[in-house]
Structure 1
Amino acid sequence: MSFDPMAAAVDWLDAYRAGEIETILAMFADDAIVHCACGGMKTISTRQGLRAYWVDRLRDYPASHLDDLRPSGAGAAISYIARDGAVSAILTFNASGKIASLTCGPLNQGV
């Protein structure tokens, strides 16, 4: 059975919607990088930073439902509805199926 980045993106959104921080963190590679334009541009590249980012994210930008999902290079592009509107996220995965990078921002900014 091969890795399905679209299914992994849906699993990520499901964990996000449920507020399951440990599940979310386990989906990321140890060297993952996050570029987030929600509430100001930020780049996160450490495990400690990733945890702090998700604590804030779950509190300030809870996700509700899936808006769109499509393939994107070595990953998936997913958009979802959050409190302040639609958010676009591009997830790329490493060879082990872990999230290597996440780039996100308000959908109207064309992430």
Structure 2
Amino acid sequence: MSDFDHMGLVVDWVDACRKGDLATLLDLYADDGEVECSCNGTQRYRGRRELETYWGPKLNAFSSAGFGLEEIHPAPNGIDLEYSVAGALRVRASFRFSAEGKIYSTLCEPAQQGSHDCCAC
């Protein structure tokens, strides 16, 4: 899979977040895909059920507060993205992909933003 396809997959992820479309977001992940969130202590979610538990409330917050794409670029072995919630809270997410062209892992962490607490990723 080319870098262009990886970038397109992450753009689809951004679109699903903006729309609050949980089903589409989950379909972008591999069956054993995972999210590791380091925003409020490190927590890991793996598989569709756990990802649904993680992303469901987040998407509701994104749709009511606003979700913005700040930066997106290729990175070694994947794509790095920075997004904002409510125009202020910034989160960095790194995506890695399966051979089947699905998101295998997402690592999110607070981006540089001063003393704000990252609780929306």
**2:94 corresponds to which residue?**
90
What residue in structure 1 maps to residue 8 of structure 2? 7
The correspondence for 1:104, drawn from 87, 103, 108, is 108
- Provide the rounded CA distance (Å) in 1 between the counterparts of 2:39 and 2:60: 13
Q: Structure 2, unaligned stretches of length 5 or more?
A: 114-121
Number of residues of Structure 1 aligned to a counterpart in Structure 2: 109
Give the secondary-structure state (helix, strand or coil) at the position aligned to 1:101: strand
What's the RMSD between the two structures over aligned residues? Answer: 2.0
- Calculate the TM-score normalised by the size of structure 1: 0.86
Does the Cα contact within 8 Å between 2:92 and 2:110 map onto a contact in 1?
A: yes
Structure 1 residue 10: Cα displacement: 1.1
Gapped runs of 5+ residues in structure 1?
Answer: none
What secondary structure, in the 3-state scheme, does the structure 2 residue paired with 1:89 have? strand
Counterpart check, 1:50 vs 2:51:
yes
What fraction of aligned residue pairs are identical, expressed as a percent?
38
Q: Distance in 1 between matches of 2:74 and 2:44?
A: 23
Shift of 1:61: 4.7
Correspondent of 1:66 among 69, 94, 97:
69
Structure 1 counterpart of 2:39: 38
